[in-house]
Amino acid sequence: MIQMALIEMTIPPFPHYITSGFNTIPKNAKHPSRSHIEVFDLLITTSGCLFLAEEEQRFEVAPGQALILRPDCYHFATQVCAEDTSTYWMHFHAGGHWNMVDNTLPALPLEDPSPVFIKPFSVEPFTIRIPQYTTLLQPEKTYELFEQLHQLQPRAHVSGARFAQQQLFHELMLQLSVSATKEQLSPSLACAEKAASYLRQHYRETVSAKALGDHVNFHPVYIARCMQREYGCSPTEYLLRLRIQQAKLLLLQTDLPVAHVGEEVGFEQPAYFATCFTRLEGISPRKYRQRFARD
């Protein structure tokens, strides 16, 4: 088994998202070879398997696994894909200082342990550790973050959209960082994740508690408890927030009428869509579009 190396970054400055996409490598083809591309290259496989190497280190990236290729190394395919292999990919900058550390080493304190006087409101740097190669704890949530980034891409020239991209990227970095702990999903989190995955796949439809319970194979009351514990909201509220999030993306990247946007994300009544949007965002859908989707 490959010993997991960690990419340790000092923050601030924060890592910076550049671009991302989704790619399918056909059977008997392979990932291109590259050398010293000066940006990190994150790959997350959804089907098939990638066979890659970075200098002397070999990796097999199976579905639900992530690999970050370093900006200062040569990486290449060790063999062709045995089947069609689909991956999300992303390029990003570390932003500031970074280095590779062993997973067995504790994080070093950034500050001198001796007493010091700190100026009020001073910026205190900290470190994050991201596994270079890992199995995702919540793959469906990670895929959803990539999908949201992809939907924002056509409007990347708009300041509001670029800011939203950075927010999604930082959430994705957090997901990767959490997976470095190698903790197994608790029964509660496993139930909540499966329910959330179902809701993300069916948010445009009418979702009943019975349908959710049948899919997750737990009683709706237990599902609600798990989602409240893990996500801080009920399945109904989670679905509502998801629909509003998708509506925000459509408002940013399309010229669809506001009522049509509501229908696209699962609201049957335009008035109810406007009420829910305003309650969660503090601004109407129309004003949100005017404020953030302006060219």
Q: Is residue 143 part of a domain?
A: yes
Query: Is residue 252 in some structural domain?
Result: yes
The per-residue pLDDT for 179 is: 77
pLDDT, position 61 = 95
Give yes or no: residues 82 and 1 share one domain: yes
Q: What is the per-residue pLDDT for 292?
A: 64
- Looking at the fold, whether 195 and 175 belong to one and the same domain comes out as no
Domain range for 222:
184-295
Is the residue at 111 inside a domain?
no
Kindly state whether residues 15 and 145 are assigned to the same domain. Answer: yes
170 and 278 both lie in a single domain: no
Residues lower than pLDDT 50 in the chain? 1, 106-119, 294-295
User: 83 lies in a domain?
Assistant: yes
Buried b (16+ CB within 10 A) or exposed e, 49-73: bbbbbbeeeebebebbbbbbbbbee
Does some domain include residue 267?
Answer: yes
Three-state SS annotation for the chain? CCCCEEEEEEECCCCEEEEEEEEEECCCCCCCCEECCCCEEEEEEEECCEEEEECCEEEEECCCEEEEECCCCEEEECCCCCCCEEEEEEEEECCCCEEEEECCCCCCCCCCCCCCCCCCCCCCCEEEEEECEEECCCHHHHHHHHHHHHHHHHHCCCHHHHHHHHHHHHHHHHHHHHHCCCCCCCHHHHHHHHHHHHHHHHCCCCCCHHHHHHHHCCCHHHHHHHHHHHHCCCHHHHHHHHHHHHHHHHHHHCCCCHHHHHHHCCCCCHHHHHHHHHHHHCCCHHHHHHHHCCC
Q: Domain boundary at 183, 199, 216, which?
A: 183
Residue 164 shares a structural domain with residue 255: no
Contact 178, 184 (CB under 8 A): no
What was the pLDDT predicted at 36? 92
How buried is 257 (Cβ within 10 angstroms: 0-12 exposed, 13-18 middle, 19+ buried)?
exposed
Residues 233 and 144 in one domain: no
Measure the CA–CA gap between 10 and 13, rounded to whole angstroms: 8
Number of domains in the chain: 2
Q: Could you tell me if residue 112 is inside a domain?
A: no
160 and 208 share a domain?
no
266 with 171, same domain: the answer is no
Per-residue model confidence (pLDDT) at position 151: 81
Q: For position 291, what pLDDT does the model report?
A: 80
Q: What is the pLDDT of residue 184?
A: 54
- Whole-number pLDDT of residue 103: 61
The answer to whether residues 230 and 194 touch, using CB atoms and an 8 Å cutoff, is: no
Report the CATH number at residue 248.
Answer: 1.10.10.60
Judgement on whether residues 65 and 149 belong to the same structural domain of the protein: yes
- The residue from 136, 159, 183 where one domain ends is 183
270: in domain: yes
Q: What is the CATH number of the domain that holds 96?
A: 2.60.120.280
Decide which of 149, 166, 183 is a domain's last residue: 183
Same structural domain, 201 and 162: no
pLDDT of res. 113: 41
188 and 134, same structural domain? Answer: no
